[in-house]
Amino acid sequence: MSAVKDPRLSGLRATPAPLEMGAEEFRAAGHALVDRIAAFLASIPKRRVTPGEKPEAVRAVLGEGPLPEQGTAPGPLLEQAAALVLDHSLLNGHPRFFGYITASAAPIGALGDLLAAAVNANVGAWELAPIAGEIEAQAVRWIAELMGYPSDCGGLLVSGGNMANMVGFLAARRALAGPEVRERGLGHGAPLRLYASAETHTWIQKAADLFGLGTAAIRWIPTGPDLALDLGALEARIAADRKAGERPFLVVGTAGSVGTGAIDPLRAIAALCREQKLWFHVDGAYGGVAAGLPDAPADLKALTLADSVAVDPHKWLYAPLEAGCALVRDPAHLLDAFTYRPSYYSMDRSPGAPINYNEYGPQNSRGFRALKVWLALRQVGASGYRTMISDDMRLSRLMHDAASRHPELEPFVLPEPPQRGAAPAPQARRRDLPEQRGGGRALPAARLHRELPHRPRRHRRDSRHRRPARARARQRAPQGLTFEPPNQLA
C-alpha cells in the first residue's frame, strides 16, 4: 500500500525544529563542554569556595531582560552557560567547603546524567524504560547490601532525604492506619501519633503537615546527655497515648543526626516497636551507609531491623544531586501505599513481573536518576566505599586534633568517648558527642574532605585589646558549624 502524499507536509519536513542539533554540531558542542568541565574539576582546589556575591550582582551577570524573541546557537549558548555556572556557584566539592553535609560529586555521575538525559527514559513503568528499571532495581539492592539491610527489600530512588523519609512515613501510615485511610482520610477513628527525638530532621514536620496528621501529632521525645533518644521516655509516652485513646503508629530513629551525628538506640527501639506492633523507621540520610563498616557500633548496625530506612546516595555515596533512596523491608507495603490502577495503565502485574516504579512511590513520571548511582557503585565497589568512609572517619580525627591545637578554636566535643564505669562527665552541650547508649557512637556531623584547611596566619595585636581565644571563636563561628570528634568507627 503506497503512502498518500500530502503537499502540506513537504514544507514542514524540510524545516528543522529550532531545538534540533545535527550530529556534528552536537559532537562539537559536547566535546567543548566536556573539555571545559574537565578543566573546571581540576581547578576546584585553586578556586574560592564561593564567589560571595550579593544577589544583585548575580542577577546583573545573568541579566534581567524578557524572554528573547530570537534564539541563540547552541555552541555559544553553552559557552555562556558554562561561564555563568562555573564562575558564579558555591563549590560544595571544594576541599575547604565545610558548610553542610553533602558530597564531592563523583565525576562519573556527571557523565551518567548526560547519558541518562540523552535517552530520556521515563522510569515510571518497566515497559517505558526496561533497562533503566532494571538498573534502578539493582542499584537499590546494592545500596541495601552495602548497609547490611535485607537485599530482597523494596525500594526506589527519590530526590533526597525528605522524600525518602516521606516514602517510609506513607508506607507506615497505610500499613498501620488500614485501607480506610485512603477513602475516608484521617478524620475517622482515634488520632494517629508518631514519635521522634528532638534531634530529628525537620522532614518529619513536613510529613505530618502534608499528609494530614498535623504537627501536633508528633510526640517529641527528650534526649539524654548523649543527645540520643531516651528510650524510657518513649515507652512512657506511647503508654500514655494509648491510655488516652490515641493510636501510636510510627517511631522514627535517627542514624546520624544533622546537628551532632548522634545515633539513637536503634536496637532497643526496634525491640520496643516489635513488642508494641509499631512501624520502625530509621532516618539514615547521611549516616546510614556507615552501618556497612565491619566495626560499626551495634546501634548503627541495628538499622537493619527497621521496617523502612532512608539514605542519601548524594551524601556518603558521593552521587551528584539529586539522589535519595527509600528502602522498605516488605515490598508489598509500597504497593499498598502507592498503587492505583486506572484503565489507562496497562502493565504486567503477574507474579514475578518486573517493578513498575509508579507503584512504589509518589511519582508517575520519573527520571533515570539511578544511573549515576549505579555507575559509582560499579566503579568503586563495596570495598572502595568502605575505604572512603573509613578515610573520612580518620580525617574527622585529624580535624579534631587540628582544632584542639589552634589558639582561636575550641572543639565543642569530647576528644574520646567516656569509659564505662568512669566518673560521669558533665552534662553534654548541644554540640558535645559522648558515647551513645548501648555501645553506639556518634558520626561526624559535618562534611569531611580530602584536605585540612590551611592554618590562618595569626596577626599580632596589643594584648590589652585581645579577648580570650574561646570568646573570639564563639563570636566568629557560624551557627551550626562545628569541628567533629574522633570516633571509633574506622
pLDDT tens digits, one per residue of 87-96: 999 999 999 9
Q: Evaluate if residue 13 carries a pLDDT over 50.
A: yes
Q: Evaluate if residue 454 carries a pLDDT over 70.
A: no
Say what the pLDDT of residue 341 is. 87
Q: Evaluate if residue 418 carries a pLDDT over 60.
A: no
Contact 219, 237 (CB under 8 A): yes
DSSP state for residue 460 in the 8-state scheme: P
Say what the pLDDT of residue 232 is. 97
Q: Across-strand partners of 158?
A: 324
Say what the pLDDT of residue 400 is. 85
State the Cα–Cα distance between residues 45 and 93, nearest whole angstrom.
9
Helices assigned H by DSSP within 302-423: 313-316, 331-338, 370-405
Contact 61, 409 (CB under 8 A): no
For the entire predicted model, the pTM comes to 0.83
User: Using alpha carbons only, what angle is made at residue 64 by residues 62 and 65, rounded to the nearest 5 degrees?
Assistant: 120
Average pLDDT, the chain: 84
Say what the pLDDT of residue 11 is. 64
CB atoms within 10 A of CB 489: 22
State the Cα–Cα distance between residues 160 and 286, nearest whole angstrom.
10
Say what the pLDDT of residue 318 is. 95
Residue 87 class from Cβ within 10 Å (0-12 exposed, 13-18 middle, 19+ buried)?
A: exposed
Contact 345, 177 (CB under 8 A): no
State the Cα–Cα distance between residues 332 and 385, nearest whole angstrom.
30
Q: Evaluate if residue 474 carries a pLDDT over 60.
A: no
Question: Which of 310, 227, 304, 312 has its CA nearest to residue 269?
Answer: 304
Helices assigned H by DSSP within 244-279: 266-276
CB atoms within 10 A of CB 384: 12
| Residue 87, CA distances (Å) to 81, 106, 172, 259, 321 in order | 10, 20, 44, 30, 19
Contact 100, 312 (CB under 8 A): no
State the Cα–Cα distance between residues 127 and 464, nearest whole angstrom.
75
Say what the pLDDT of residue 359 is. 94
Say what the pLDDT of residue 15 is. 76
**Third-level CATH fold of 113-339+354-377:** Aspartate Aminotransferase; domain 2 (3.40.640)
Q: What's the alpha-carbon Rg for the chain, to the nearest Å?
A: 26
Say what the pLDDT of residue 455 is. 35
Arithmetic mean of pLDDT, 198-210:
96
Q: Across-strand partners of 327?
A: 155, 309
Contact 293, 119 (CB under 8 A): no
322 preceded by a cis bond (ω within 30 of 0)? yes
Q: What is the pLDDT of residues 40-86, one digit of tens each?
A: 999 999 999 999 999 999 999 999 899 999 999 999 999 999 999 99
Q: Across-strand partners of 253?
A: 282
- The pLDDT confidence band at residue 486, using thresholds 50, 70 and 90, is very low
Q: What is the pLDDT of residues 365-417, one digit of tens each?
A: 999 999 999 999 999 999 999 999 999 888 888 888 898 899 998 876 543 44
Q: Evaluate if residue 470 carries a pLDDT over 80.
A: no
Buried b / exposed e along 43-78 (16+ C-beta atoms within 10 A): eeeeeebeeeeeeeeeeeeeeeeeeeeeeeebeeeb
Q: Evaluate if residue 440 carries a pLDDT over 80.
A: no
Arithmetic mean of pLDDT, 324-333:
97
Q: Evaluate if residue 361 carries a pLDDT over 60.
A: yes
Say what the pLDDT of residue 3 is. 63
User: Position of cell 533497562?
Assistant: 131
Angle formed by the axes of helices 23-43 and 74-87, nearest 10°:
20
State the Cα–Cα distance between residues 420 and 429, nearest whole angstrom.
20
Contact 368, 123 (CB under 8 A): yes
Q: Evaluate if residue 121 carries a pLDDT over 70.
A: yes
Q: Evaluate if residue 436 carries a pLDDT over 60.
A: no
Say what the pLDDT of residue 138 is. 98
Arithmetic mean of pLDDT, 191-196:
97
- The pLDDT confidence band at residue 459, using thresholds 50, 70 and 90, is very low
Contact 246, 193 (CB under 8 A): yes
Residue 99 class from Cβ within 10 Å (0-12 exposed, 13-18 middle, 19+ buried)?
A: middle
Lowest mean pLDDT among 186-200, 279-293, 295-309, 454-468: 454-468
Q: Where are the domains of the chain?
A: 113-339+354-377
Question: Which of 355, 327, 359 has its CA nearest to residue 342?
Answer: 359
Q: Across-strand partners of 324?
A: 158
Element (H, E) at 236: helix 231-243
Quote the longest CA-to-CA distance of the chain. 99
Chain mean position to CA 462: 47
Q: Across-strand partners of 325?
A: 157, 311
